[in-house]
Amino acid sequence: MNQPRLLSRNGSRVSSSNEDFQQNETAPSSIESSSTQNNPRVLPKLTPTKYISRYLWDDPGKPNGVASIRIEQLPDKNGSMVAWKDWLEQQNSTTTTANNPQIDTLLSSDSTSLRVIIHGQDGCLYELKLDPLFEKVKTVTTKVSTKRLIIHLHKHENKGKVWPHPYQSKTKIN
C-alpha cells in the first residue's frame, strides 16, 4: 500500500491495474526507432577553423611599449600557405565592394593571453592563439594592409623591456 507507484511510462499514463500496464508497455527498440524517425536530431554546422602557426614577432623595446605581430600568410585548404595579398584579393573578388575582413581580438580576463580571429567570406575562421604572453597587455590594435596584417600589442607595464617570442615566454625569461 505504501509502495512507490509508476505514474507514466513512455509518455502515457499508467493505471494501477496490471492489465493496463502490460498493454501500455512496448519494446524499447520500437520506441527509439519511432522517436528518431519523427524527430531527427539536427547537429549544428561547425565553422571550419584553421590555426595560424606562421607569424613574425617583433618587439624592439622602444619606450612607447608596442610589440608587433605580422601575419603575411594564412593556411590554405590543402594545408599549404597562401600569401595575405592573394587571400585578400580572393576575399574581395567574392563581393562587389572591397572590404577589409572582420578581425576579432580577444584578451583573457587577466590580459596575459590573446586570440586573434579572422573571418573569411567563405565562412572559414583563421585563429592565432598566444598563450601565455610575457606580461599583461593594455590594448590590442590591428592594421590591415595589402601585404600583411599587423597586430599591435600595447604593453601595460615595463614599456621599455623587450618581450621574448610568446613560445619562449612560458619559461619567463628575466
- Residue among 30, 29, 27, 24 at smallest CA distance from 12: 24
| Confidence band for 20, pLDDT divided at 50, 70 and 90 | very low
Q: What pLDDT score was predicted for residue 90? A: 87
Position 150 scores a pLDDT of 96
In a domain, 2, yes or no: no
Q: Are residues 21 and 105 in the same domain?
A: no
Residues 67 and 127 placed together within one structural domain of the fold: yes
Average pLDDT over residues 131-144: 90
Query: Measured between alpha carbons, how far is 159 from 167 in angstroms, rounded to an integer?
Result: 20
102 and 30 in one domain?
A: no
3-state SS, 68-81, equals: EEEECEEECCCCCE
**What is the arithmetic mean of pLDDT over 30-51?**
65
Q: Tell me which residue range forms the domain holding 18.
A: 8-38
C-alpha cell recorded at residue 75:
593556411
Q: Are 22 and 96 found together in one domain?
A: no
The pLDDT score that the predictor gives to residue 95 is 65
**Minimal CA–CA distance to 145: which of 97, 92, 100?**
100
103 and 160, same domain (yes or no): yes
- For residue 174, is pLDDT > 60? no
**Domains held by the chain: number:** 2
Whether residue 55 is contained in a domain is answered as yes
Q: Which residues pair with 114 in a beta bridge?
A: 107, 130
Q: How far apart are CA 164 and CA 134, in angstroms?
A: 7
For the chain, give the mean pLDDT. Answer: 79
- State whether 26 and 100 are in the same domain: no
The type of residue at 162 is V
Whether 122 and 108 have beta carbons less than 8 Å apart is answered as no
Looking at the whole model, is its pTM more than 0.75? no
Q: Let me know if 122 is exposed, middle or buried by CB neighbors in 10 A (0-12, 13-18, 19+).
A: exposed
Cα distance between residue 90 and residue 147, in whole Å: 13
A 10 A CB-CB count for 65 gives 19
CB-CB contact of 31 with 37 (8 Å): no
Across the range 87-103, mean pLDDT stands at: 79
Average pLDDT over residues 121-134: 88
Q: How confident is the model at residue 30 (pLDDT cuts 50, 70, 90)?
A: very low
